[in-house]
Amino acid sequence: MRHALRYKPAYSPQSDIAFSSARYDTRAMLRNRLHSMAGTKMSAISKAVLLLLLFGIIFAGEVCGYRSKHWRLGFSESSMKYKPRKPLQIEANETWIWPLPAEWTKGESTIILDPKLELVVQGGLSESDVLEEAFERYLGHIFVHQSAEGKKLRRKSSSPTLLRLVINLLSDNQVLQLGTDESYTLAVPATNESSDVYLEASNIYGALRGLETFSQLCGFNFETRSVEIRDAPWSIKDKPRFQYRGLLIDTARHYLPVETIRKVIDSMSYAKLNVLHWHIVDTESFPLEIPSYPAMWDGAYTKAERYTMEDAANIVEYARRRGINIMPELDTPGHAASWGVGYPQLWPHPKCQQPLDVSSKFTFEVIAGILADFRKVFPFDLMHLGGDEVDTSCWNQSEHIRGWLKDRNLTLHDAYATFVLEVQTITRKLGWAPVNWEEPFSEFGKLLSPDTVVHEWYSNNLVPAIVDQGFRCIVSNQDVWYLDHLDVGWEEFYLNEPLADLNSLDQQQLVLGGEVCMWGETADPGDIEATIWPRAAAAAERLWSSPYVANSTYRALPRLERFRCLLHERGVGAAPVKNYYAREGPEGPGSCYDQ
């Protein structure tokens, strides 16, 4: 199910024929119709009316963010020469922040940012290495065009200049967990009021979110060679809509080097995502070191494609310093054939390698050992245990498992429940709340631990039933929030509503948030960024921003294009926004801000 239905083939010229329909080919069809009208016997008035109608339909598609896999009107099909297309004009007072804040006001002044901007931390902490490191990172982003000579000149400028960023922390708590307060307020003064930018947050993680917003207010003026903040004064009061805003990466289908994972984490922080769901192992490979069972990573593709436990700990700390939790996944009892490369006794039968042997005590000893090793490096409250796509017929092919079932008067369905519940018990003893994909809930939901988080992915109408039984929920409906579905456009990511059909506040509060999933069958270090971005950013705004301020793809499109350009400036290889198929290159020459 999750594996079988998740994958859709990448675009090929042959597959284009299957996708060609009136829905996707409208503008090309209309252009062809315009060309054919030249030889049609019609009155001049009739032709004029039809032309206006056809152009109106085309223009409406352009304005509404319609995606086409064909060339846009800027391309001349007769001459095959590209003609520059003017970018869509949006209100001049647009707020260029992604994701949009909860509340904000702004003015009409422009103020200069001094390249020697100083950081002052006060309140609950007088200093913070996390904030100091983040401040230096953001200075690098903000002043990327500033030369050493320009830095000297700016000090002599008579223009109103911001000299300090003052961060006031209301707490000294530096623990990052599910539900950590990420709210902040940001005040940028008008030209004559002050030389300080004021940022207040409950803790360092709210301050990190405020730093990202502050960096997006800054822009380089190529004429004055200075960094400016326009529309000052700014007053921003912001907090996330959902406490869980996740991205899944899959290091079992393709190994991702540590540096690639770090780049993904960096890019997540720019969109204010806060949970990296690390799908570490699966049927294909087991790349992570397990000290308690050292032969386990024999299931890696090669000896070079592995992670040490030190690697995992470093990734966790790298993410924490950017306000991002790491939720590991140990998928059982299915999706686990790679375990038996190092320990063949975990397989039910040499010719039938998964689900793991439910009848063996050794199976659960191994799982307990792995989870105990995980607990030493993964401090997040949630532990994902998979539990999906379990084909129990393999157990029936094993003589000793059939005997075990018969002795206990268990069906295959009972054995499936027994396995999942036992792993949940091990997990809870280690201080985690268990997370399972939706299948255990659908099959035996009343037996699950009450603190289980159900991860919805397949049944798009299941969330009301999950919360109705009192379970917390993460939303990842695969038809619109699976990034490896390359033909799902940013608009569908943007408009997916996690609280659909939930009218009760009590039910809504059980939805922790949502997650976009980057399954790795067709993504590796060479294309993972272009597959994730910018579509993940569309979901990020849905999860961070109030639907009262973020509710229009028309208004979102130019901001998303601008955010994609910001990702480029920071070294993230985001694909064009308007592509029909994700991660393809641009359709032709043009500005980053109109692709």
Could you tell me if 434 and 472 are in contact, meaning their C-beta atoms sit under 8 angstroms apart? no
Between the CA of residue 143 and those of 140, 195, 198, 215, 248, what are the distances in Å?
Answer: 6, 18, 19, 10, 32
What span, in angstroms and rounded, lies between the C-alpha atoms of 560 and 572? 14
What span, in angstroms and rounded, lies between the C-alpha atoms of 188 and 197? 5
- Could you give the 3-state DSSP secondary structure of residue 331? strand
Instruction: For residue 534, say if its preceding peptide bond is cis, omega within 30 degrees of 0.
Output: yes
What span, in angstroms and rounded, lies between the C-alpha atoms of 307 and 185? 39
Cβ-Cβ contacts under 8 Å for 478 (sequence gap 6 or more):
2, 5, 6, 457, 458, 485, 517
φ/ψ of residue 154, rounded to 5: -65, -30
Catalytic, 389? Answer yes
Residue 585 tokens read as: 């290159």
Catalytic residue selected from 182, 200, 212, 389: 389
Kindly give the residue spans of alpha helices, DSSP state H, lying in 117-242. 129-142, 148-155, 204-217
SS3 content of the chain, % helix, strand, coil (to 5): 40, 20, 45
φ/ψ of residue 81, rounded to 5: -115, 140
Question: Residue for token digits 């949940």?
Answer: 424
What span, in angstroms and rounded, lies between the C-alpha atoms of 205 and 237? 15
Could you tell me if 358 and 418 are in contact, meaning their C-beta atoms sit under 8 angstroms apart? yes
Could you tell me if 542 and 526 are in contact, meaning their C-beta atoms sit under 8 angstroms apart? no
Q: What is the CA radius of gyration of the chain?
A: 27
What span, in angstroms and rounded, lies between the C-alpha atoms of 151 and 155? 7
- Could you give the 3-state DSSP secondary structure of residue 388? coil
What span, in angstroms and rounded, lies between the C-alpha atoms of 551 and 541? 10
Could you tell me if 278 and 251 are in contact, meaning their C-beta atoms sit under 8 angstroms apart? yes
What span, in angstroms and rounded, lies between the C-alpha atoms of 128 and 133? 8
Residues recognised as catalytic: 389
